[in-house]
Amino acid sequence: MMYARERYSKLTVNRSPFLDTAIECSELTLPYLVQQDVSHRASNMKLVQPWQSVGAKAVVTLAAKLMLAMLPPQTTFFKLQVRDDKLGEEIDPSIRSELDLSFSKMERMVMEYIAASSDRVVVHQALKHLIVSGNALIFMGKDGLKHYPLQRYVVDRDGNGNIIEIVTKELISRKVLGDELPLKKPNDPGGKTGSTEDDVEVYTCVKLDHSSGRWIWHQEADDMILKDSRSTAPKNASPWLVLRFNTVDGEDYGRGRVEEFLGDLRSLDGLSQALVEGSAAASKVVFLVSPSSTTKPQTLSQAGNGAIISGRPEDVGVIQVGKTADFATAAQMAQQIERRILDAFLVLNVRQSERTTAEEVRLTQMELEQQLGGLFSLLTVEFLVPYLNRTLLVLQRSNQIPKLPKNLVRPKIVAGVNALGRGQDREALTTFISTIAQTLGPEALMKFVNPDEAIKRLAAAQGIDYLNLIKSQDQLQQEADAQQANAANQALVGQAGSIASAPLMDPTKNPDAKEDFASMMGGLGNQPPEE
């Protein structure tokens, strides 16, 4: 049996070149993101600061746009729907609107659960790591999400690129572990000191058990398995999400967006350093005094503003650095490189607004898809789908949402330009109805389209709870019957009034008119006679 520590050390060989590149990318953008894999807790570490802030601005902006497209704040990133092949067989198509309403309620409950947690903060941090290093690891625990940077985990994949093993490394104080670990002696090869305040390396070994088809993991410290650290999870609902930005066939780790423009960032950093240092040198003012002059340098340096001293003006000169043309060339080249970087990271297309609209989310998704190719497809497979499955599993186990029959209902990711979200459903439905009305006329629209079903689908497409808001068919029928009866009564009343004004109904001229009129009024809705 190989300990987790040994397995971690063995897999770090494959990770080393990717980690070195990630550190360089981090130094040119956000130096605090990716650091060396060390076995001690760093304190007061002095980070390398780049000479420009373009890289940091580019990473932060792209991460914010990815966050807006993947987990939009005002809409859902997924949609629950009935399988089309089950409609008409196991599920009555007439209840589809009611099912959409129920699904919409569950979607809002899931999004409210995500909004109340700290998931968005962790996901945003992971996205920055994805952009810089190309890799990120997220663990979905009971207390929320936890992110592991590249220097804290190693992975192993099969020939198809699927994860088969994960080993993480953390530095945890011995006080936190309590009595689970024995006190190390000072001369013990496995221990550092005899103090319980020292940090201990805790390894988490995650493997896919092919026999059971489940994920199993445990934690080790000092080559001992910690108590109550063993756990399992279904294969399709793993809490361990290994993310990559770009994939290369045969590589276990991904490559980030910064690596694609590493040359431009290096050049921009060098030019920025040259401009800063050159400008500082050029701004230095030095006075020269001729050696044969009568003006003494000491007298000149000690003279105050407006002082009167003896000397000749031609004996004193000022050094001027004639590098203006060189500075202009360097500045022009730096501007060109900066423009390329900002355009590649979608910084130049940021819209300033106080609130985010659904249309802006859709345009952002389209912009990301056009600029970054299949990034959404990769993030959907490696993050959104497992994240949604795990979230639904947790909420179902806690009875916050009802359990969904897997063979009838399936979730669909709607974050991305090729997917249909709630806004796209509404737009497609309204376009369809307006096209029928414009092409075939309002008569054909009322003949072939069910208004009740159309209104319910529009409400479901916008996530509106139409319960007790839209009148049912029974209510509409009752109102129609009441309106028809009221119209008939009004007609009888009008008819009676016209008859009563006739000469034949005048009691002075016709003695039987009073009885005939009373019998006629008694027939209006079988109303009781007046007392």
445 shares a domain with 513: no
Beta-carbon-side half-sphere exposure of residue 14 (alpha carbons within 13 Å): 14
| pLDDT confidence of residue 194 | 41
| pLDDT confidence of residue 216 | 95
Q: What's the whole-number mean pLDDT along residues 170-175?
A: 85
Residue 445 has pLDDT above 90, yes or no: no
- 72 in a domain, yes or no? no
332 shares a domain with 280: yes
In this structure, are residues 64 and 49 in contact, taking their beta carbons and an 8 Å threshold? no
288 shares a domain with 326: yes
Where is average pLDDT lowest: 239-248, 261-270, 463-472?
A: 463-472
- 120 in a domain, yes or no? no
Q: 132 is written with which tokens? A: 């810089």
DSSP secondary-structure letter at 228? Answer: T
| pLDDT confidence of residue 92 | 64
| pLDDT confidence of residue 42 | 65
> Is residue 46 exposed (0-12), middle (13-18) or buried (19+ Cβ within 10 Å)?
exposed
CA torsion, points 140, 144, 149, 155, in degrees to nearest 10?
-10
CA distances from 20 to 25, 170, 255 (A): 9, 20, 12
| pLDDT confidence of residue 93 | 61
Q: 138 is written with which tokens? A: 């997220």
Binning pLDDT at 50, 70 and 90, where does residue 189 land? very low
Residues, the chain, total? 531
| pLDDT confidence of residue 231 | 94
| Helical (H) or strand (E) element with 36 | none
502 shares a domain with 429: no
- 488 in a domain, yes or no? yes
Higher-pLDDT residue of 506, 23: 23
**Helices marked H in 29-95 — which ranges?**
54-70
Dist. CA 86–CA 460, nearest whole Å: 20
272 shares a domain with 339: yes
Query: What are the pLDDT digits (tens) for 66-76?
Result: 888 788 877 78
Q: What's the whole-number mean pLDDT along residues 492-501?
A: 65
| pLDDT confidence of residue 359 | 63
340 shares a domain with 268: yes
Binning pLDDT at 50, 70 and 90, where does residue 196 land? very low
Rounded to the nearest integer, the mean pLDDT of the chain is 80
| pLDDT confidence of residue 492 | 75
Binning pLDDT at 50, 70 and 90, where does residue 185 land? very low
- 335 in a domain, yes or no? yes
Closest to 391 measured CA to CA, from 380, 382, 400: 400
First to last CA, the chain: 104
| pLDDT confidence of residue 187 | 41
492 shares a domain with 435: no
Binning pLDDT at 50, 70 and 90, where does residue 55 land? very high
Which domain-ending residue is among 437, 461, 485?
461
481 shares a domain with 442: no
CA distances from 443 to 410, 434, 446 (A): 37, 13, 5
Cross-strand bridge partners of residue 140: 145
In this structure, are residues 289 and 260 in contact, taking their beta carbons and an 8 Å threshold? no
| pLDDT confidence of residue 58 | 95
328 shares a domain with 291: yes
Where is average pLDDT lowest: 160-174, 285-299, 423-437, 498-512?
A: 498-512
- Name residues whose C-beta falls within 8 Å of residue 511's C-beta, 6 or more positions apart in sequence: none
321 shares a domain with 266: yes
Query: What are the pLDDT digits (tens) for 249-281?
Result: 999 999 999 999 999 999 999 999 999 988 888
Residue percentage of the chain with pLDDT more than 70: 77
Structural domain boundaries, residue 335:
262-301+311-344
481 shares a domain with 437: no
Number of domains in the chain: 3
Binning pLDDT at 50, 70 and 90, where does residue 238 land? confident
Higher-pLDDT residue of 188, 114: 114
- 449 in a domain, yes or no? yes
Q: 326 is written with which tokens? A: 């060189």
- 368 in a domain, yes or no? no
- 397 in a domain, yes or no? no
320 shares a domain with 280: yes
Q: What is the pTM of this model?
A: 0.74
- 163 in a domain, yes or no? no
Count the Cβ atoms, other than its own, within 10 Å of residue 81.
16
Residue 352 has pLDDT above 80, yes or no: no
In this structure, are residues 208 and 163 in contact, taking their beta carbons and an 8 Å threshold? yes
